[in-house]
Amino acid sequence: MKNSKAGNKTNKQTSEPTKVASKGVAHTQVKTLHPRNKHNQGYDFEGLIKKCPKLSHFVRPNPYGNLSIDFSDPEAVKSLNAAILLTDYHIEQWDIPAGFLCPPVPGRVDYLHYIADLLAVNGKAPKGNKIRALDIGTGANGIYPLLGVKSYGWQFVASDIDPVSIANVAEIISHNPDLASKIDLRQQTNPQAIFSGIIGDNERFDITLCNPPFHRSLAEASQGSAKKNANLAANRAKKHSQKPAVSSSSAALNFGGQKAELWCEGGEQQFLTNMIKESQQFGQQCLWFSSLVSKSENLKPCYQLLKQLHADSVQTIDMKQGNKITRVLAWSYLPEAARKQWAKFRHNAI
């Protein structure tokens, strides 16, 4: 499945997915955070510290005189996240157990802004509880439903195979009563299933989201984190004109992460394959399916599989946050006329 000519264009004004004919692949590349992202201007550490004084323990001037934190320190990253979620999204007492994945907020909310564009009607991103989203593998952080509710007012079903993760998100919700009616937590009890056992017979979802496990094993995950920590140390040393120091904890997972969050048999490619295959069973119940794809080489097998399964529309959006590039892969089995009818019905209902 090849990208269409239209898919090679970059829409720098709106950063919205490029529209293409059915069964084509729209491919949009962007160089900055989404225009609606609150974090386009970086972090206001002084403002964040006022809201969350604990953050001050981790904030120091960098070599350029700007305030920052050590992003290789999981406690610093967790404190920054809690401050951002409180200050910008009014989420109280966000926390995660030790060792669980602590995702950076700007990149995660970017994913939500792009899928909001995907669901847009007449160029307007939909808001309100008529939009139903399913987060696959919500983790202990619950970041997508939390941000999705606060940014757009959508209804979420958040699933995870780990009971500790489900319990922790429930604890976060307990401190934020306005979220209780908007986030439905469901535990996946079948380790071989993704959508089955979560999507009910008569349920409909406008969009599904997923940040799939990246690595094939714990060893691979540890190696990846060690490399990331080494790069961070090298960059700090370069700014200070010093020799990089490698600490004994350099192999630690600096952003945390449990087994189900970071790795699975076959890694990201196998997880995506399993998810795409299973999605076909629910093709009439979901307007769009979507997933982050970290490795660009995993896209081609996904395109080929979606073609075999007769997906009607496939879109790919490149997102760049700093030096990191990741992608949103979105697909729908519904023909264009059915998608328009779905959107029209939803728009009228709102």
Burial of 167 (0-12, 13-18, 19+ CB in 10 A): middle
Question: What pairs with residue 333 in β-bridges?
Answer: none
Q: What is the pLDDT of residue 278?
A: 98
pLDDT band of 264, cuts 50, 70, 90: low
Sign for the CA dihedral angle at 340, 346, 347, 349 comes to positive
In the chain, helix, strand, coil percent, each to 5? 40, 20, 40
pLDDT in tens, 190-210: 999 999 999 999 999 999 999
Average of per-residue pLDDT values in the chain:
83
Q: What is the pLDDT of residue 198?
A: 98
CA 348 vs CA 120, 151, 183, 247: distances in Å:
13, 21, 23, 58
Check whether 48 has a pLDDT greater than 60. Answer: yes
Dist. CA 158–CA 184, nearest whole Å:
6
Write down the pTM of the prediction: 0.82
Q: What is the pLDDT of residue 174?
A: 98
pLDDT in tens, 208-246: 999 998 745 555 555 544 444 444 444 544 444 444 444
Q: Which helix (H) or strand (E) holds 143?
A: helix 143-152
